[in-house]
Amino acid sequence: MAKENTEVDAERETRTERTRAGDPTDTAPDQLISTDPGREGVAEQDDEPSGATETVIEAHGLDVYYGETRALDDVTIEIPSNRVTAMIGPSGCGKSTFLRCINRMNDLIDVARVEGDLLFDGVDVYADDVDPVALRRHVGMVFQHPNPFPKSIYDNVAYGLRVQGDTDDLDGRVEQALRRAALWEEVSDRLDDSALDLSGGQQQRLCIARAIAVDPAVILMDEPASALDPIATSKIEDLIDELAESYTVVIVTHNMQQAARISDRTAVFLTGGELVEVGPTREIFEDPEEDRVEDYITGKFG
């Protein structure tokens, strides 16, 4: 059944800020909430993670349309918890569209329409009783270009916690988020400075700190290093590896070498919004089942 976009807020700027940090006036079904990290270590990239791994996100027959244009075509995938799953493919193949489905950011696009099933912790995220803002408290997102608020470094990280009314030990939790984002040592003596004064790489790590401060279960990353220099990119990649010890990370990247370096599993989308193959990263890059995937990875197209 088609899912209509009934949650679109007319005041776009206000809604966009709320969606990125959460709002205490919104609630979600109890079964939607996932708080247990449940991970002991990052899996080696050359093998499937050992032991049973819980599926935290799954799509079945997922189609997305922008008006009459189909952006995703019958996508079925399971994303394991506390692993890094990379989405690769040529421009316009639907990678970012899929990412935006997971936390219903596509609701902000009037002409977007979603069909099929998309589950988070077994709950259909497009069900009528699921509030998208409540969902985004558990599924954070980091965008392609750093988007710090025009506030202090401290206030950026504390923003989501304050909005949710969760201000116990605020100083400690801001510090913890900055440490986990590998930024604390660089900004600890200037927390009152404007976040806009930071470098691009620092701003992106600040956005990651802001996302993890509210302790989501999943972190979505839409090409988080594409606008950064090699040194800043390396720091982001190292950080992603560390974050996967506590969070499920889903990252869209155009950089196939980056996907090979940082991900446990890789999903390959090709033209027309088709998910062609998904599996352990080493298998995808060294011995893919689909000829089209091999052609894309070896540079024959795309």
pLDDT digits (tens, 9 = 90+) for 121-161: 999 999 999 999 899 999 999 999 999 999 999 999 999 99
Which structure tokens are listed for 265?
Answer: 């599993």
pLDDT in tens, 274-289: 999 999 999 999 999 9
Strands 123-124 and 139-142: unpaired
Q: Is 5 helix (H, G, I), strand (E, B) or coil?
A: coil
- pLDDT for position 302: 61
- pTM over cut 0.85: no
Which structure tokens are listed for 200?
Answer: 């691009």
pLDDT in tens, 45-93: 444 444 457 999 999 999 999 999 999 999 999 999 999 999 999 999 9
| Spatial distance between the Cα atoms of 21 and 177, rounded to a whole number of angstroms | 14
Buried b (16+ CB within 10 A) or exposed e, 203-218: bbbbbbbbbbbbbbbb
If you count them, how many residues does the chain have? Answer: 302
Architecture per CATH, 52-147+216-297: 3-Layer(aba) Sandwich (3.40)
Three-class DSSP labels, 175-229: HHHHHHCCCHHHHCCCCCCEHHHCCHHHHHHHHHHHHHHCCCCEEEEECCCCCCC
CA distances in angstroms from 130 to 55, 187, 199, 221, 232, listed in the order given: 19, 37, 37, 22, 37
233: left (phi over 0), alpha (psi -120 to 50) or beta: alpha
